[in-house]
Amino acid sequence: MARYTGWGAFQQVFDEGKAAYRQRPPTTPEQKQEAENWEKNWGTLFDEVRNALTVEERAAASKSLLNTHYTSRDVVKTPRLH
C-alpha cells in the first residue's frame, strides 16, 4: 500500500458532509439511513485519518481523489516485497 498515493477507494473518509451529521442530526429517514451507513462503514476510519494527518495533509489527500483512477505502470509492475 505504501506505493499507492491515491485515496480513491477511501473517498468517504474525506466526506465532511456525512461527518457533519454528527453535529447536525439528519431530518429525513433517508438522511438518517445515510448517516448510519456512513458511520458504520467509515466513521472510525474518518476519525483515524483526521487524527493522523494535519489539515494540510488531509487537504492534499482529498485533492488526490480526482485522479485516483490512475496508477502508473511502474507502481503496478514493481515486485511485491514480503
Counting residues of the chain whose pLDDT is more than 70, the rounded percentage is: 73
pLDDT the model gives residue 71: 64
Instruction: Look up the pTM and report it.
Output: 0.66
For the chain, the average pLDDT equals 82
Residues 6+ apart with CB under 8 A from 5: 64
Who has greater pLDDT, 81 or 3?
Answer: 81
Inter-CA distances, 17 with 2, 31, 34, 41, 55, Å = 28, 11, 11, 15, 16
Q: What percent of the chain is helix, strand and coil (3-state, nearest 5)?
A: 70, 0, 30
Q: How far is CA 25 from the centre of its chain?
A: 21
What pLDDT digit, counting tens, does each position of 28-58 carry? 999 999 999 999 999 999 999 999 999 998 8
Who has greater pLDDT, 76 or 63?
Answer: 63
